[in-house]
């Protein structure tokens, strides 16, 4: 891997912020789509987060000479049969917004007691190089849907994602604390370890080369 610029294949500023933070300190320059490759994103047609992440990664890899990091993530609510799932970003289509998505989830859960509001965030992440998926990671975090939005930080469904161990919604956590427990934080730690091992091997001091 000679190209040390890692293309982060997402236009979502919330995700860019979190992934950049989690990869800090690695000798990789993390570049965003809008900086280097302002092309139309591909349609998301996959049935799973992993399928969508792979499709995004392969799409951008055809247009980028170095490694591409793509991810797909979303919220699964048990009482809604796993919805919004891969439709998380566009749950309130035709003109979706975070606020409308949240309202729609809350409306569909009206009257559902706390014990039956189990939900999880899921994140599928892939690294693609030269048109080939070379690594995949997955992270999940369990919680439940709050009765109303709380907190100002984060993005997406964070204000209604209640995390019982901390008795807070994700929007009530600082960026650092969210990264420690979140689906994306978990996936990105796998990714970080992967890059650390690769970089070590490239610099010639991997234990198996000693």
Q: Which residues are catalytic?
A: 72
Instruction: Read off the DSSP letter of residue 56.
Output: H
Assigned token pair, 69: 């990091």
Indicate whether 137 belongs to the interface with ligand IMP (CB under 6 A): no
| 179 contacts ligand IMP (rule: CB under 6 A) | no
**Which residue among 31, 37, 89, 199 contacts ligand IMP (CB under 6 A)?**
89
What character string, x for contact with ligand IMP (CB under 6 A) and - otherwise, covers 8-47? ----x-------------------------------x---
Strand 161-163's sheet: what is its strand order? Answer: 29-32, 5-8, 68-77, 118-129, 132-145, 161-163, 168-169
- Candidates 24-32, 103-111, 149-157, 187-195; binding stretch for ligand IMP (CB under 6 A): 149-157
Q: How many helices and strands (H and E) does the chain possess?
A: 6, 7
Binding to ligand IMP by residue 156, rule CB under 6 A?
A: yes
The nearer residue to ligand IMP, 95 or 209, going by C-beta atoms, is: 95
181 belongs to the binding site for ligand IMP (CB under 6 A)? no
Nearer to ligand IMP, 6 or 55 (CB): 55
Torsion of CA 100, 37, 137, 79, to 10 degrees: 10
Site for ligand IMP in 44-63 (CB under 6 A): 44
Q: Which residue has the tokens 């170095």?
A: 66
Residue 154 within binding range of ligand IMP, rule CB under 6 A: yes
73 binds ligand IMP (CB under 6 A): yes
Residues 6+ apart with CB under 8 A from 36: 5, 7, 64
What is the C-alpha separation between 166 and 89, in angstroms, rounded? 26
Decide: is 157 part of the binding site for ligand IMP (CB under 6 A).
Answer: yes
Give the pair of three-digit tokens for residue 89.
């970003």
Query: Is 182 among the residues that bind ligand IMP (CB under 6 A)?
Result: yes
Dist. CA 12–CA 14, nearest whole Å: 5
Q: List contacts with ligand IMP (CB under 6 A).
A: 12, 44, 72-75, 88-89, 101, 121, 154-158, 170, 182, 184
């Amino acid at each position: 891997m000679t190209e040390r610029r890692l293309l982060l294949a997402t236009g979502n500023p919330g995700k860019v912020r979190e992934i950049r933070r989690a990869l800090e300190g690695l000798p990789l320059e993390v570049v965003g789509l809008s900086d280097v490759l302002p092309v139309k994103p591909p349609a998301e047609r996959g049935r799973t987060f992993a399928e969508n992440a792979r499709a995004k990664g392969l799409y951008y890899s055809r247009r980028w000479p170095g490694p591409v990091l793509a991810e797909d993530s979303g919220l699964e609510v048990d009482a809604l049969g796993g919805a919004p799932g891969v439709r998380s970003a566009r749950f309130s289509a035709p003109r979706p917004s975070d606020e409308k998505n949240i309202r729609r989830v809350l409306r569909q859960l009206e009257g559902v007691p706390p014990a039956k509001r189990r939900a999880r965030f899921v994140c599928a992440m892939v690294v693609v190089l030269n048109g080939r998926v070379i690594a995949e990671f997955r992270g999940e975090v369990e919680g439940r849907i709050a009765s109303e939005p709380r907190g100002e930080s984060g993005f997406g469904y964070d204000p209604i994602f209640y995390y019982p161990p901390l008795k807070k919604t994700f929007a009530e956590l600082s960026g650092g604390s969210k990264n420690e427990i979140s689906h994306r934080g978990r996936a990105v730690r796998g990714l970080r370890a992967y890059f650390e091992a690769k970089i070590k091997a490239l610099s010639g001091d991997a234990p198996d080369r000693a």
